[in-house]
Structure 1
Amino acid sequence: MNRVTVLLPVYNGAEFLTETIDSVLNQTYPDFDFLIINDASTDNSEEIILSYTDIRIKYLLNEQNLGSIGSPQKGMDLIQTEYIARIDQDDLWLPDKLKKQIELLDSNPGIGLCGTSIELIGDRTGVRMFPVSNELLKVGFLFGCLMSHPSVVFRKSFLIESGLRYSPDYYLADDYKMWIDCLNHTQIYNIPEVLVSYRQHQSQICSVHAPAQLKVKNRVRLEMLERIYPHPTEEEKEFHLKTFAEQKIESVNDYKKCIAWKETLQFQNKLNGFYIQARVLDKELNKYMQAGYKKYVLNRYFKKKSIINGLRYACSFDWRYLSLRRNLSLFYKCIL
């Protein structure tokens, strides 16, 4: 019996489905079952799936549409193998993806959820390197969803023991909610290597429902915040969501408010038994704040890099709040 099942939920995914299935079948780790659940598609997804003869593929057709939470959860419940690997219908795996994750999970029994970094393809391109360790992810989840759904592998045993399931109440951010709930039951980890190609296009759920998704995302952000600060005021919640988590620093005064908020979070974290290691929280919050402040500096002083703008920035004294390394980088680019 294979130890791994790959779960691919499909709904009207014909456009990219062949590429996705091929990327799974071409894994260098070959010993897996491949469960494809067709959620009552109305396009030719079924025809594409049935064109494959690979014996690893197990096909299941839902008589009625269960939705983007119900259909994957049905698959998670049916799967009985040691590991469950998720992939979405428009994304791709690099060939060694599954092999590297299974090796890591086999070597680290305390880790119950493993993701990877990703590259963006399609309408937007780039690379997203996610926080790696459990403690780094705790800080990262204060800001957003820093694991990629089509990259994750679950250890089935911890899902059974914890009873964790995707929550319909968090539709559009149910993965983000799942990740922070996993923190209560297991260690989580992101392999610091790009092993997934994550497709960006206008018809995907996060593009179509962006405003609604942000509302649910903010609910999860606040739940994560309340693990280190159980009773923030409404004003503090608003600042955390609109300025701190979004890194929307538009003035030096905003940055000073972020420093004060960081000190509040550190104090509350201490009062609540150091949910996040003190050293990690301090270092990572500084990193996020500096990144936000650099965006402000670039937008205000360096829309066009020049020696004149560099001197204007130097005379403003706004440079005092940016690290020496970041300042030297800005001035160096002005000189070139």
Structure 2
Amino acid sequence: MATKALDFYLPNELNASHPPEKRGLRRDHVRMMVLDRTTGEIRHDRFFYLTNYLQPGDLVILNNSRTIPAVLPATWLRNNVRIAPKVEVRLARLRHDDTWDALVVANPIKTGDTLQFSPELSATVIGEKENSPLKIIQFTKKGSDLFNIIYSLGEPIRYEYIGYPWDLDYYQTVFASHPGSVEMPSAGRAFSWELLFKLKHKDIQVDFLQLHTGLSYLLDDQWEQSPEENEEEYQISDRTMEKILQTKASGNRVIAVGTTVVRALESAARNGALSGVTNLYIDQQYPLKIADGIITGFHEPKASHLDMLSAFVSEHHLLQAYDQAIEACYLWHEFGDMNLII
């Protein structure tokens, strides 16, 4: 279980509420704090100069999952009687072509109730997750038909530090290609096509895997999820894994872009499966087998992501770096600044 021992005070003004583009910055020009895994040395730069910290032959692995608009408004019905004209449904994880785990912000919604999203789409509550507020809902559409309607009706998930409903495009990486994440795999957001070409020009390899992120916050601290309870689907191609193994064998480094990529890579290394569902929890005791470095954003106090970062660098150096980031007014969360640990 996550210990969540890494705690600190984060001033509210350091929560990034606007995308960099709305602050007059290119996405690849956000700030970057570089943290040495061994010495704890800290350097400050811009993300566009990432190539200065990587070597020819290194391999950067990105998550190409695409963010979906996972917040859907619905009418709540029971036995064909309307209980509430509008409730909020937050998709959490795809189970099958027509079935999702979802957080229905309505109490007490029961198995058998109906959620009417539009004249073309409804869903029935068919069960619930054990020890969780998440319900299992089955839609009347499936596959691409369901996704098309979700895209027409939904909005991206946003948390309390984001006061404006930014368009879905602001929650996408430039290379996102496979819809399925309910929250943006945000560590890849700062990459631009220009920066990706810069990496390739320096003979730094770039490749992709896929991990669809689940719903991280259930709107009630009573239901705080541990990483083991947050199951996420991942997929790594044979060709990508072959490139990873060749990179490691050559003495070069594999740099994971985001905690999602670390989770997928280390799950594959642990269980030998290149695709499946992972609930892997990584902390300072976990021996990393693939990832040699990580590019990530800044994570809130007590977040399980901080436990994962402590597998790369000591808690002492990590907290020291975060103290310096706060003092230097780095920005947090998906629209914030970046942290390279290498």
Tell me the TM-score normalized by structure 2: 0.28
Q: Whose Rg is larger?
A: 1
Higher RCO (CA-CA < 8 Å; seq separation 6+): 2
Higher strand share: 2
Tell me the TM-score normalized by structure 1: 0.29
